Structure 1
Amino acid sequence: MNPLTNCKNIYFIGIGGIGMSALARYFNKQGVKVSGYDKTSTLLTDALIEEGIQIHFEDNLTKIDKAATVIVYTPAIPAEHGELNYYRNNNYLVVKRSDVLQWITENAFTIAIAGTHGKTTTTSMTAHILRHTGYGCNAFLGGIATNYGTNFWSHERNVVVVEADEYDRSFLKLAPNIAVITAVDPDHLDIYGTAEEVVKAFGEFSDKIKSGGVLIQKWGTQFTTNISNKKVLSYGYNHKEASYHTINLKVIDGSYHFDLVHPAGICKDIVLNMGGLHNVENVSAAIAIALSLEIDEVKIKEAVACFAGVKRRFEYKVKTAKKVLIDDYAHHPEELNALISGVRSLYPNEKMVLVFQPHLYSRTKDQCDGFVETLDKADEVILLPIYPARELPMEGVSSEMVLNKMKLSHKKIMSKEELYNWAAKTEDKLIVMAGAGDIDTCILKVQEIITKK
């Protein structure tokens, strides 16, 4: 029996995470009592508290809900965490976030978007199109959709759009009807060990698609899949061999205008008001899903045109004649490369200053050469110290290691305070800030500084 069927009280350890908070909102909407712990108070936890969810911010057994029947945690929680061990040692039902997503989606028509990058934006675009066109869906997003100010919404239609996370092989618990794979690049090697294991896992995910389902993969992604029981389609920017590909792309007033060739014809005059050429590809995947559901083309185009983006995905924090500040979650070399290319496509003649906070010692070590090659494509680079997240320091692994290998002449390492002092003095117009750590808090301060100048 599904353990969630009669769940009246659920507790989240790590409730402030983007994926966990979406689940917390789901159960809160269902009328289940929801509470939880997180290490840090954030704007997201503030929002959850306003929605009636009880949250505390210290690992304290006197504050936990001992009446909870289901305990949900993420792999980011350390094994020695006191609350987690209390629940385990006292025979509570303790499950991962991925288990809960599996139970929620097992009896629904599920659309799962996976990929080492691009999945959050593509998931949000897909869910937005289904919502705006009136098709309807339940959505579990890995980012805050700007149109709606949330990472979750519900609908009576038994369709679920979900971001399928490859970390800890979580996505292998899903069995979607439609799956998208946006990218298969070496990442999370602290979990997978080798690039080959990453590729293998994506192949396994593709084979979880239900019989008669659809796989939509980015053109050029390489993995092994069983093609006998599902329809396989591809998408790509400027790849004529792909099932869905863009033609006649133009940039007009900061927006992308293009046509999309698809198996049944051409969807003309699409307008995407979101920066980044990679987002033209992402929206192509979302449109491919909508067309496979037989949603009207005119309605799809209307939905795409009013898509306002996702927080921290090519998000303009300042956009004036004198200053442009772009915030992005990019934390992998391929994501940074896409970000830089996207900025160049919109601001080809402007000097680009890239402020980057490396995320995780393991990723910085494993991807060092890729970071060096990509960062050298900016005009000036400012590196912040590595954000460790769940990791302990590694000997010899630092932002200095990356900086010393770069060929770019205009490069430096700054503390946050030094960054703020620089922001107060700089005359540079175009500043791009990227990373998956706590750089988002720096961006708010930089935004405040440069708008006061």
Structure 2
Amino acid sequence: MNLNNIHNIYFIGVGGIGMSALARYFHANNKRVVGYDKTQTEITDSLVALGIEVHFEDAVDNIPVSFLDIEKTLVVYTPAIPKNHLELSYFSARKYRVLKRSQVLGLITENTFCLAVAGTHGKTTTTSILGHLMNECDVPITAFLGGISENYNSNLILNGTEVSVVEADEFDRSFLTLSPDFACITSMDADHLDIYGDPSELKKSFEDFSKRLKPNGKLFIRNSLPLQGITYGIEDNSDYSIQNIKIENGSYVFEVKTPKTILENVQFDLPGRHNLLNALIALAMALEYGCSAVLLVKALASYKGVKRRFTYHIKTDDLVFIDDYAHHPKEINAVHQAVREMYPNKKVLAVFQPHLYSRTRDFIDDFAVSLSQFDELILLDIYPARELPIEGVTSTWLLNKINNKNKQLVSKQELLSAIHDSDAQIILTIGAGDIGEQVKRIKKEFSIAG
């Protein structure tokens, strides 16, 4: 398909983080963009502010007359949309070109120099860092991010079309639509078993992704992963390695050993060893592309992060409130490590909302161990997302497995009261569901209280 011949782009699920980045991209390229989503959010409001038409009722009558021209219209949907969706059914029955988000991303990037970031954890932050680094080095990039960058207040960085930076999502095997020049794999931990069924199938999909590289492409892998490529790690013998880590004024300062040299006095502000690894692989990919080491070190120090990735909302001597997207036991462990490193002598209250019944079931014991580490724990009900309930899989089941005397299950209505009852100096909200919508309430309540 030649996207130059397409004038109308219709998004079903336009409020999704990946979908909205595509909507911004096509709008910036003078296409007419219209979208549906079931819920009005900050993201949909931001799209409307750009001039993109968004509606929230699934009705064929909402399709503009100009979109009835099948030859000039492309329909993009997310796998989260149910098959009985009226608008999607309308377009499919009339033989419109209907593509998944990942397929469209593949079309956009196939004629660019593409740098793709894959892995069960760290994709969004790494992609955001890489996009920022290359943009600061004035590389003509388009970067599609899986989160809202604090530096750009957007999930799209648009500075040209010759180079693309993309998040390569393993969900639904979406990343197999890409053919990158450079690719990295940050992790291959079991996840999305509702799709893959077995961890070995997930591993195979990452192996298949590694084979999608263009001729003479480069694969970057976290040291210890069972693949061949340029390695990276912390305090080890990787091709790219972080050495001599110090914490100064709440920031990491360290050296980076590359295959050719050592970069000194590198500064990075995001807490957690997992974020150091994200910064390192982004730095390595940009160096291998040909960016200036001096500019990259300067750019890394100016990186501010991604919303809902260890995002500070209150930071005073008496109270710290941090929000994070962590929704897998390994990610919760990483957040716990970061909090303990930054605030070693303070009491931590974690508020966690499990995401998906299947993920809760598949990792129930690992969740119990990771959540037991906090001083106090408040658990919310499971956020179902695209799933129907699974018998016996509840937050009560998870709560009973957690080894923590200071634990409780509360409703969203009871949440503020439950937090007030705690004397913890650190409040931490974690999860990938709609817990993010509670952040404003908590921030407002405790900013006033403070």
Q: Deviations over 1:392-441 (max 9, x none)?
A: 11100011111101111111111111111123443321011100000011
Q: Matches of 1:132 and 1:288 in 2, distance apart?
A: 15
Q: Matches of 2:336 and 2:420 in 1, distance apart?
A: 24
Match of 1:359 among 355, 358, 361: 355
Contact 1:123/1:161, CA 8 A, preserved across alignment = yes
Deviation at 1:157, TM superposition (A): 4.7
Q: Deviations over 1:139-168 (max 9, x none)?
A: 100001101100012223500000011111
1:190 aligns with 2:194: yes
Counterpart position of 2:51: 52
Q: Matches of 2:77 and 2:290 in 1, distance apart?
A: 37
Alignment of 1:244-263 (within 5 A): 244-263=240-259
Alignment of 1:75-114 (within 5 A): 75-114=79-118
Contact 2:145/2:166, CA 8 A, preserved across alignment = yes
Q: Which moved more, 1:356-365 or 1:293-302?
A: 293-302
Counterpart position of 2:30: 31
Alignment of 1:13-412 (within 5 A): 13-68=12-67, 69-223=73-227, 232-238=229-235, 240-412=236-408
Q: Matches of 1:370 and 1:264 in 2, distance apart?
A: 40
Counterpart position of 1:441: 437
SS in 2 for 1:431: strand
Q: Matches of 1:66 and 1:17 in 2, distance apart?
A: 25
Q: Matches of 1:136 and 1:261 in 2, distance apart?
A: 27
Question: Which one-letter code corresponds to 2:27 in the other structure?
Answer: N
Q: Deviation above 4 Å: which 4+ runs of structure 1?
A: none
Question: Which one-letter code corresponds to 1:16 in the other structure?
Answer: G
Q: Matches of 1:376 and 1:236 in 2, distance apart?
A: 28
Contact 2:149/2:305, CA 8 A, preserved across alignment = yes
SS in 2 for 1:62: helix
Question: Which one-letter code corresponds to 2:202 in the other structure?
Answer: V
Q: Deviations over 1:52-103 (max 9, x none)?
A: 0000001111112353311000110011111110111111111110110111
Match of 2:416 among 405, 415, 420: 420
SS in 1 for 2:414: helix
Contact 1:277/1:345, CA 8 A, preserved across alignment = no
Deviation at 1:376, TM superposition (A): 1.1
Work out the number of aligned pairs and report it: 444
Q: Matches of 1:136 and 1:298 in 2, distance apart?
A: 19
Q: Normalization by structure 2: what TM-score?
A: 0.97
Q: Matches of 1:65 and 1:204 in 2, distance apart?
A: 40
Contact 1:384/1:416, CA 8 A, preserved across alignment = yes
SS in 2 for 1:236: strand
Q: Deviations over 1:112-155 (max 9, x none)?
A: 00111100000000000001122231110000110110001222
Q: Matches of 2:388 and 2:151 in 1, distance apart?
A: 37
Contact 2:251/2:269, CA 8 A, preserved across alignment = yes
Deviation at 1:222, TM superposition (A): 2.6
Shift of the 3–85 alpha-carbon distance from structure 1 to 2, 3 Å rule, reads farther
Deviation at 1:217, TM superposition (A): 0.8
Q: Matches of 2:223 and 2:66 in 1, distance apart?
A: 49
Contact 1:251/1:346, CA 8 A, preserved across alignment = no
Deviation at 1:250, TM superposition (A): 1.0
Q: Deviations over 1:280-314 (max 9, x none)?
A: 01000010011102211111111010101000011
Contact 2:106/2:178, CA 8 A, preserved across alignment = yes
Q: Matches of 2:234 and 2:330 in 1, distance apart?
A: 15
Contiguous gaps of at least 5 residues in structure 2: 68-72
Question: Which one-letter code corresponds to 1:36 in the other structure?
Answer: G
Contact 2:131/2:157, CA 8 A, preserved across alignment = no
Q: Matches of 2:266 and 2:353 in 1, distance apart?
A: 34
Q: Matches of 1:222 and 1:333 in 2, distance apart?
A: 21
CA RMSD of aligned residues (A): 1.1
Deviation at 1:322, TM superposition (A): 0.9
Q: Matches of 1:105 and 1:157 in 2, distance apart?
A: 9
Contact 1:424/1:449, CA 8 A, preserved across alignment = no
Question: Which one-letter code corresponds to 2:21 in the other structure?
Answer: A
Q: Normalization by structure 1: what TM-score?
A: 0.96
Question: Which one-letter code corresponds to 2:357 in the other structure?
Answer: Y
Q: Deviations over 1:211-257 (max 9, x none)?
A: 1111111112235xxx6xxxx2011123x121111111111121111
Q: Which moved more, 1:310-319 or 1:244-253?
A: 244-253
Q: Which moved more, 1:244-253 or 1:110-119?
A: 244-253
Q: Matches of 1:425 and 1:398 in 2, distance apart?
A: 24
Q: Matches of 2:157 and 2:249 in 1, distance apart?
A: 32
Question: Which one-letter code corresponds to 2:233 in the other structure?
Answer: G
Q: Matches of 1:381 and 1:65 in 2, distance apart?
A: 49
Q: Matches of 1:222 and 1:387 in 2, distance apart?
A: 33
